Structure 1
């Protein structure tokens, strides 16, 4: 089985512009950034998507995301920042090694809106979906 591109970067066997790392995580610029400062944060251990990551590693990854995000904010002074994870093909995941995008944002930048126009849910449907989700935590 071929090792994924992010595993080779995390292991130091592939080139990348690394901006931060600790023992378990790494942050680097993607090959095709959406905007200046767009950064990916990964665990160095391979997990296909967010739902495969064990809780201790997930906690470490989210601390890394916050650390790198603060660094980007201090260095670039953006007006805002998107923190994005895509899990699964339907969510536009293209590299199947869990990663979090930090995308610095400036008013009027070329990135544009990330949400489609809102469509209201019927109150009955909202209540039914909420109950289905709540049942998952009471197992």
Structure 2
């Protein structure tokens, strides 16, 4: 696609700061930091294209939401290939089925942000998959960071379902 090539060549839509260390590339490569961030045990699915993991930031009524990231670094939707987009959405759909069957949620929402005005705050493309419940007020509440020991319960539920059903 010519537009994607032009944007990538000119870096027109890049907002990452100079010397940016990508936290999602670190997760994909298996490197953990000694902080509250994502740990390897939070990963629910990984193949050669994508990695899906329990997010370290949660919303009060939507605990255990998942981020799906491409293993290759793409800053945003403008750089993303259509082939990679398909892989990301395959993993998101699998995650949605796992959530429905293990969290017993009423629905699922996906969300994706690009550039500062679009609320992107990590400069690596990522797709959020949220478990949804009646009157959960997802869009009216603020997220907060979790402790690493809060996430494995949710990761194990989703990982087990995926291993048994995919």
Distance 1:67 1:3 in 2: 29
**In the alignment, what sits opposite 2:99?**
72
**In the alignment, what sits opposite 2:136?**
109
Q: Give the drift of 1:3.
A: 3.1
**In the alignment, what sits opposite 2:110?**
83
Normalized against structure 1, the TM-score is what? Answer: 0.75
The runs of at least 4 consecutive aligned structure 1 residues that moved more than 2 Å come to none
**In the alignment, what sits opposite 1:32?**
57
**In the alignment, what sits opposite 1:19?**
44
Q: Deviations over 1:23-66 (max 9, x none)?
A: 21111111111221211010111000112111211111111111
Using CA pairs below 8 Å that are at least 6 residues apart, which structure has the higher relative contact order?
2
Inter-CA distance 7–59: structure 2 relative to 1 (3 Å threshold)? same
**In the alignment, what sits opposite 1:41?**
68
Distance 1:72 1:21 in 2: 17
Q: Which residue of the other structure, out of 2, 10, 34, is the alignment partner of 2:28?
A: 10
Distance 2:54 2:139 in 1: 20
- Name the Cα RMSD after superposition: 1.7
- The number of residues matched between the two structures is 114
Give unpaired runs (5+ residues) of structure 2. Answer: 1-18, 33-38, 142-166
Distance 1:39 1:85 in 2: 12
